[in-house]
Amino acid sequence: MSRIICLSTEDLKQLLDFTNVMDAVRQSYIAHSLRTANTFPIIRESLQPGATFGVKSGYMPEDKILGLKAAGYWTQNRSKGDEAHQATVILVDPDSGKPQAFLDGNYITTIRTGAAGAVAADTFAKRNARHLAVLGTGVQGKIQAEGIMLVRPEVEEIRIWGHSGASTASFVEQFRDRIRVTVCSTVSEAVRDADIVVTATPSTQPLVLLEDLSPGVHINAMGADTKGKSEIHPSVISIAEVFVDDETQSRSIGELQGQQQKVCKEIGLILAGKQPSRTSSDSITLFDSTGIALQDLKTAALALKLAQLQQVGTYLDWS
């Protein structure tokens, strides 16, 4: 008889914070790029219009972490007041194959992606960044802003652009007591003169144009994770210094779709000190985040360890 721990959203909020998740994300990127861990091929399939399902899985032998995230996007959920993104993370004992933990994948995805954006901004964005532009005011737009404010505390203004009036109002409410928030009617207005730009939308058409960008700007492109998605115009990609979490994924489902000749570097190699970061303070830098399984699994394993120490969660008996 074995026992499985189930960790809910509230459990994970109690266990995880930006500091420990950022460390987990850094370790994941390094392990992935140094090939000391295995990221298995992803499954990403369309079920019907507005519904996509996928599986990301991996194995970190040194940490004895094995598992998967089953996740997808159901746009019709919004009409019912539910989140469009739905995910579950499962950890498996690599020695026996028995399940160890079931975790709320929505919260894991949210905080690890926010931490990924924070790690990228801390690695590539100018130290004295003052103006942050956020395109997309939903869950990811908010968590990206939280992460960047943590690593670049001198940011004094967030300019936001979004499709939904409700999510825009919610964004303003979340931040208005801490920082100046400017709601913009166009992408150009939000992006112009920004030091850091975050794109966190499901767009299939480029939003960020080269003509609106200033020298030295850093872009965290967080939205493109499926074939056909795109937030960054090819003219930007052509001159930017591009960094990715996984080169193969970036070229197949990220911003480098159709950009097979564009040179890029994996962020894990930068963090490991194996390759240099940006080459000039005036360069436009772009981090294309497609999301790798090791981020989810390392974060989930951290939550599992903390839950066992703090006696948090619900246990199920498993024969």
Of 2 and 266, which is predicted with more confidence?
Answer: 266
Q: Return the CATH number at 190.
A: 3.40.50.720
- DSSP 8-state code for residue 75: G
Using CA atoms, how far residue 101 sits from 98, 148, 160, 183, in Å, is: 10, 30, 37, 41
Mean pLDDT, residues 81-108:
93
Residues 63 and 132 in one domain: no
Q: Return the CATH number at 37.
A: 3.30.1780.10
Does 66 score more than 70 pLDDT? yes
Q: Residues 222-241: pLDDT tens digits?
A: 998 878 899 999 999 999 99
Q: Residues 106-120: pLDDT tens digits?
A: 999 999 999 999 999
CA–CA distance, 186 with 196 (Å, rounded to integer):
17
Helix (H, G, I), strand (E, B) or coil at 69: strand
Q: Is residue 119 part of a domain?
A: no
pLDDT at residue 2 in the model: 78
pLDDT at residue 3 in the model: 86
Residues 285 and 165 in one domain: yes
Look up the pTM and report it: 0.92
CA–CA distance, 7 with 101 (Å, rounded to integer):
8
Q: How confident is the model at residue 1 (pLDDT cuts 50, 70, 90)?
A: low
pLDDT at residue 48 in the model: 87
pLDDT at residue 50 in the model: 86
Residues 310 and 179 in one domain: no
Mean pLDDT, residues 92-100:
95
Burial tier of 165 (Cβ tally within 10 Å: 0-12, 13-18, 19+): exposed
Of 44 and 114, which is predicted with more confidence?
Answer: 114
CA–CA distance, 3 with 39 (Å, rounded to integer):
27
Of 279 and 195, which is predicted with more confidence?
Answer: 195
Helix (H, G, I), strand (E, B) or coil at 86: strand
Q: Is residue 9 part of a domain?
A: yes
Q: Is residue 8 part of a domain?
A: yes
Nearest to 175 by CA among 158, 153, 189: 158
Q: Residue 188: CA atoms inside 13 Å, Cβ hemisphere, count?
A: 4
Q: What is the mean pLDDT of the chain?
A: 94
pLDDT at residue 227 in the model: 84
Mean pLDDT, residues 296-319:
94
CB 196 within 8 A of CB 125: yes
Domain count, the chain: 2
CA–CA distance, 291 with 154 (Å, rounded to integer):
27
Residues 268 and 305 in one domain: no
Q: Is residue 73 part of a domain?
A: yes
Residues 50 and 28 in one domain: yes
Does 282 score more than 90 pLDDT? yes
Residues 31 and 49 in one domain: yes
Residues 179 and 223 in one domain: yes
Q: Is residue 120 part of a domain?
A: no
Residues 204 and 238 in one domain: yes
Nearest to 185 by CA among 161, 204, 211: 161
Q: Is residue 113 part of a domain?
A: no
Residues 79 and 165 in one domain: no
Q: How confident is the model at residue 79 (pLDDT cuts 50, 70, 90)?
A: confident
Residues 170 and 190 in one domain: yes
pLDDT at residue 247 in the model: 95
Residues 204 and 247 in one domain: yes
Q: Residue 206: CA atoms inside 13 Å, Cβ hemisphere, count?
A: 14
Q: How confident is the model at residue 214 (pLDDT cuts 50, 70, 90)?
A: very high
Q: Which domain holds residue 157?
A: 126-290
Helix (H, G, I), strand (E, B) or coil at 60: strand
pLDDT at residue 166 in the model: 84
Using CA atoms, how far residue 98 sits from 54, 122, 317, in Å, is: 22, 38, 12
Weakest mean pLDDT among 80-84, 250-254, 314-318? 80-84
Q: Is residue 114 part of a domain?
A: no
Using CA atoms, how far residue 231 sits from 135, 173, 206, 288, 299, in Å, is: 9, 26, 4, 10, 27
Q: Is residue 118 part of a domain?
A: no
Q: Residues 121-156: pLDDT tens digits?
A: 999 999 999 999 999 999 999 999 999 999 999 999
Nearest to 124 by CA among 243, 231, 230: 243
Residues 94 and 176 in one domain: no
134: part of which helix (H) or strand (E)?
Answer: strand 131-135
Q: How confident is the model at residue 8 (pLDDT cuts 50, 70, 90)?
A: very high
